[in-house]
Homo-oligomer: A and B are copies of this chain.
Amino acid sequence: MARKLSTLDPQRLDNQICFAVYSAAHAFNRVYKPLLDRLGLTYPQYLVMLVLWERDDVPLKDIGEKLFLDSGTLTPLLKRLEAAHLVKRTRSSEDERQVLIALTAQGHALKDKARSVPQSILAASDCTVPELVAMKDEIVALRDRLNAVIGE
Determine how close the nearest CB of chain B comes to the CB of A19; give it in whole angstroms: 6
Does residue A147 face the partner (Cβ distance < 8 Å to B)?
A: yes
When distances are taken between beta carbons in the complex, the residues of chain B under 8 Å from A147 are 27, 30
> Which residue from B12, B26, B119 sits with its C-beta under 8 Å from A10?
B119
Where chain A touches its partner, the secondary structure class is helix
Q: Are A22 and B20 in contact (CB under 8 A)?
A: no
Q: Are B31 and A21 in contact (CB under 8 A)?
A: no
> Which residue from B17, B119, B143 sits with its C-beta under 8 Å from A136?
B17
> Which residue from B30, B136, B142 sits with its C-beta under 8 Å from A146?
B30
Q: Are B20 and A143 in contact (CB under 8 A)?
A: yes
**Residues of A134-152 whose CB lies within 8 A of B:** 135-136, 138-140, 142-143, 145-147, 149-150
User: How many of chain A's residues touch chain B, expressed as a range?
Assistant: 35 or more
Q: Are B13 and A139 in contact (CB under 8 A)?
A: no
**Residues of A94-146 whose CB lies within 8 A of B:** 111, 114-115, 118-119, 121-122, 124-127, 132-133, 135-136, 138-140, 142-143, 145-146
Q: Are B143 and A13 in contact (CB under 8 A)?
A: no
Determine how close the nearest CB of chain B comes to the CB of A120; give it in whole angstroms: 10
> In the bound complex, how far is the Cα of B140 from the Cα of A66, in angstroms?
26
